[in-house]
């Protein structure tokens, strides 16, 4: 068991970092997105926000399908096709899409030297729980079935996608599937009961999320399901046997306690877990690497974590052997 609590500081100077953080806070407070409002309007506003930033010219996005689920493949010139990031987007299970997540997925893929597969899982309220878990698990099964070894795969998720990433690994374990080499989650929404103390204690400094908005979207997704259900809220799950976990969160967000409790839960179940709390930055700050130095540093830390576990698994030098072994194990199941 290993638990590391890290609070990073900007190596490029606190004055510049403070100006960047203040500019980002102001931008988010004036954003048109109302998370708990009409779901159609929220989807349109979120799409406009995510696609308003030009995509880096070195990122290629290709629509496709895996396991009957729509996906978007994301590659950069640095991508090694032998290594796959299974990427799960945010949006409180009701908004967002794989296409909306291409920018951040591309940033992670570039730094990790891998290709990403963004899962376009079904959204609530049209498709309630457990549709998102089922779709993510089906894509993972399909990757294994295509011969991609679990040891050359890593999960990455942001916000609801972070909670979904961990929930999917719990479901994969319960289904007898092998774990990927690692999982990295950014500001995970891991408690759909919204019961963490930070839901109230951090409300004044969070420029993006409100407890009321999260509870609205949780009702859309869960309907009559208990929000403490492990596949919905992994802070209440048995995490025994899960892949090594990296949790990154900002101190200026109401989901701070979700991240801290998720890391503590993993540690209690003997999972290798690293918790990084970044001071005075907002929800999914990693998406703003173009304007925030801490975001770039966090993405590099996540890439280092992912690559380290690929190297530990030996996939860098023995991909063919690992792939063959993985395909045989899937066939036997």
What burial class does residue 32 get, using C-beta atoms within 10 Å of its C-beta: 0-12 exposed, 13-18 middle, 19+ buried?
exposed
Cα 185 → chain centroid: 4
Q: How far apart are CA 153 and CA 128, in angstroms?
A: 27
Cβ neighbours of residue 125 closer than 8 Å, sequence gap 6 or more:
39, 94, 220, 221, 223
List Cα–Cα distances, 116 to 82, 113, 154, 167, in angstroms: 11, 10, 9, 19
Q: How far apart are CA 137 and CA 121, in angstroms?
A: 10
Q: Before 125, cis peptide (omega within 30)?
A: yes
Quick one: CA dihedral 89, 90, 91, 92, positive or negative?
Answer: positive
The catalytic residues are: 159, 253, 283
> First vs last Cα of the chain: how many Å apart?
29
Q: Where are the alpha helices (DSSP H) in the chain?
A: 14-29, 39-51, 102-112, 131-145, 160-174, 198-201, 211-222, 256-268, 293-313, 319-332
């Amino acid at each position: 068991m290993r638990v590391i609590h890290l609070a990073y500081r900007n190596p490029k100077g606190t004055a510049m970092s403070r100006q960047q953080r203040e500019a980002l806070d102001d931008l988010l407070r004036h954003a048109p997105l109302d998370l708990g409002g009409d779901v159609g309007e929220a989807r349109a506003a979120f799409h406009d926000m995510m696609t308003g930033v030009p995509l880096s010219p070195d990122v290629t996005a290709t629509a496709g399908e895996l396991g009957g689920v729509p996906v978007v493949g994301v590659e950069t010139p640095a991508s090694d096709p032998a290594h796959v990031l299974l990427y799960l987007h945010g949006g409180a299970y009701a908004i967002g899409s794989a296409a909306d997540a291409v920018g951040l997925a591309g940033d992670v893929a570039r730094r990790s030297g891998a290709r990403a597969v963004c899962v376009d899982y079904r959204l609530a309220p049209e498709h309630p729980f457990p549709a998102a878990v089922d779709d993510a698990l089906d894509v993972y099964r399909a990757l294994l079935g295509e011969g991609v070894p679990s040891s050359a795969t890593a999960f990455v998720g942001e916000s609801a996608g972070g909670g979904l990433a961990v929930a999917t690994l719990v479901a994969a374990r319960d289904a007898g599937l092998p774990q990927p080499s690692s999982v990295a989650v950014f500001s995970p929404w891991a408690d759909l009961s919204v019961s963490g103390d930070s839901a109230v204690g951090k409300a004044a400094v969070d420029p993006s999320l409100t407890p009321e908005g999260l509870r609205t979207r949780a009702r859309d997704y869960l309907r009559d399901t208990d929000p403490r259900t492990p596949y919905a809220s992994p802070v209440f799950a048995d995490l025994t046997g899960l892949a090594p976990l990296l949790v990154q969160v900002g101190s200026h967000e109401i989901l701070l306690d979700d991240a801290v409790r998720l890391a503590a839960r993993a540690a209690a179940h003997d999972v290798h877990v690293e918790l990084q709390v970044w001071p005075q930055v907002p929800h999914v700050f990693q998406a703003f690497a173009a304007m925030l130095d801490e975001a770039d540093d966090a993405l590099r830390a996540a890439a280092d974590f992912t690559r380290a576990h690929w190297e530990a698994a030996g996939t860098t030098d023995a991909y063919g052997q690992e792939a063959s072994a993985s395909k045989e194990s899937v066939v036997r199941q």
